[in-house]
Amino acid sequence: MILRQFLRHDPVGISYLLGCGGQSAAAVIDPVGEPAHYLSAAEQSGMAIRYVIDTHLHADHVSAGRRLAEAAGAPYVLFADAPAAGPFMGVRDGDVLELGNVAAEVLHTPGHTPEHISLLVTDGTRAAEPWFVLTGHTLMVGDLGRTELAASAEEGARTLFRTIARLKSLPDYVEVLPGAFSGSLCGRRLSGKPTSTIGFERRYNQAFRIDDEEAFVAAMLIEIPEPPAQAAELRAVNSGFTAAAA
């Protein structure tokens, strides 16, 4: 297993390169900026990029997903029902993306946005059980993702409640690798530590701990941060329906 985490500060977020060095197969998740950055990182790690994945249609930045996929000659991956134009490889809950000895199982985890996916990753050379889950802007360290960027806040919160019940069912030892950390507009009480575990978040993440749906919805509807600037426009760009501004 090779895993590289890229912390971004403008906008705040996290991208990932992961895969199997032995069989030279990698995926990039939630890329931002110049494709050359990820192509170089993959080359230095002795891997070729087989998939470029966006966990969701972002509302706080322009994704580099399509450009990187084209440069790498790899499919661009979104949830199959994502409201997106242009070519992409649609995946559904339970699909598995094979990367040599590494496997990434797709989990449909809506709530932050309806098309959001997470990736449950296993390294077959280590164990048959999952090692970590890439949670995008669904479960982050210290909080959960806001729910009103692509639906009403209440509708999104009720959907997210069902999603987190599924994430809570994962073993405590599974590592949580989120798509954002403190400073991001996609959560409220995010930690500056960019990794955690299901067990730690189950105990100490205030929103993740709530087991009653009505209490959960009430908690998610307070202290909603200001939305990212041009959030709707950025989602439209990332969907492929409009072009990015020059």
- Where exactly are the structural domains of the chain? 2-239
Longest dimension (CA), the chain: 49
DSSP state of 82: -
pTM of the model: 0.95
- Side-chain half-sphere CA neighbours of 214 within 13 A: 0
Confidence of residue 246 (pLDDT cuts 50, 70, 90): very low
What pLDDT digit, counting tens, does each position of 10-59 carry?
888 999 999 999 999 999 999 999 999 999 999 999 999 999 999 999 99
* CATH no., domain 2-239: 3.60.15.10
Q: How far apart are CA 55 and CA 106, in angstroms?
A: 10
Q: How many CB atoms lie within 10 A of CB 245?
A: 8
